[in-house]
Amino acid sequence: AQTVTQSQPEMSVQEAETVTLSCTYDTSESDYYLFWYKQPPSRQMILVIRQEAYKQQNATENRFSVNFQKAAKSFSLKISDSQLGDAAMYFCAYRRTGNQFYFGTGTSLTVIP
């Protein structure tokens, strides 16, 4: 069974600093996709970044980047120059070939002014 683990229920970061959210997953597949979603207090789920397992290069979207370690089955999210608007719940998600997504339990990020 595929599982996604986010071991940090809560994290905090000073505004303008960098924070890393961790995610590990369990799979026997070699081809799959990984995602980070953000859920602010508005509760809208927003895609932050995605990574294809066959790509060795880590994905980057502006201030958001990932550290994808395929052998270790690790997919951490780094947020640089944190802003107040980054405060949200962050979910790591996994999808192998097929339609089912598996979500982690989320990390609540607080940004301290």
Residues that bind other proteins (CB under 8 A): 33, 35, 37, 39, 42-47, 50-52, 89, 91, 95, 99-101, 103, 105-106
CB-wise, 14 or 44, nearer to other proteins?
A: 44
One-letter-per-residue 3-state SS of 16-82: CCCEEECCEEECCCCCEEEEEEEECCCCCCEEEEEEECCCCCCCEECCEEEEEECCCCEEEEEECCC
Smallest gap from residue 16 Cβ to other proteins (A)? 27
CB-wise, 9 or 17, nearer to other proteins?
A: 9
Smallest gap from residue 89 Cβ to other proteins (A)? 6
CB-wise, 33 or 64, nearer to other proteins?
A: 33
Instruction: Quote the CA–CA distance of 39 and 21 in Å, as a whole number.
Output: 14
